[in-house]
């Protein structure tokens, strides 16, 4: 009986962790980037990817993420992420934010991005979730009014989950 309860508890704990991760994935929407006042707006370098907005945002098929990666120039001919070009773009974008840049490099380029999405999610989406998590985890100045109220606290919670 005790063995059954132990395994039931472990299963519930694992499910709760995945639910928490899912909550964080939904919370890290680009519209809340304005809540981190000190971070450059992600939309600034996605202006050239407006044609991708009409594509479905299916985390498994990854059509939207592939389109954005092609439009921003960090996808290879074979469809893999060109990490050198992505790193170059992020170094320019976050030149004034070394803590964010170093976190993105260590966690997203050199770290294990598999924790940022279920196994069937595409790697580009996992990279994007990792990138956004690092931006919010290292934000120095927050807007805590209106729609941004509570985003800082949620960011801190999500950073603990993905650490």
96-130 tens-digit pLDDT: 889 999 999 999 999 999 988 888 888 888 998 89
Q: Are 70 and 55 in contact (CB under 8 A)?
A: no
Q: What is the pLDDT of residues 122-160, one digit of tens each?
A: 888 899 889 888 888 888 888 888 888 888 888 888 778
State the pTM of this model.
0.77
Residue 159 C-beta-side C-alpha neighbours within 13 Å: 18
Q: Are 72 and 49 in contact (CB under 8 A)?
A: yes
120: which residues sit within 8 A by CB, 6+ positions away?
A: 59, 60
Q: Are 86 and 74 in contact (CB under 8 A)?
A: yes
């Amino acid at each position: 009986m005790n063995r059954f309860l132990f395994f039931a508890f472990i299963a519930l704990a694992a499910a709760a962790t995945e639910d928490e991760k899912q909550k964080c994935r939904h919370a890290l929407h680009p519209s809340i980037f304005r809540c981190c006042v000190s971070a450059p707006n992600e939309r600034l370098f996605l202006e050239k990817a407006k044609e991708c907005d009409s594509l479905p945002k299916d985390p498994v098929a990854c059509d939207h993420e592939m389109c954005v990666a092609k439009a921003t120039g960090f996808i290879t001919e074979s469809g893999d992420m060109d990490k050198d070009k992505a790193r170059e773009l992020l170094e320019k974008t976050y030149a004034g934010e070394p803590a964010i840049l170093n976190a993105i490099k260590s966690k997203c380029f050199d770290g294990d991005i598999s924790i940022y999405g279920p196994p069937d999610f595409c790697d580009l989406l996992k990279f994007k979730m990792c990138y956004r998590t690092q931006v919010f985890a290292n934000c120095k100045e927050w807007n805590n009014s209106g729609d941004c109220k509570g985003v800082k606290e949620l960011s801190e919670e999500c950073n603990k989950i993905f650490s």
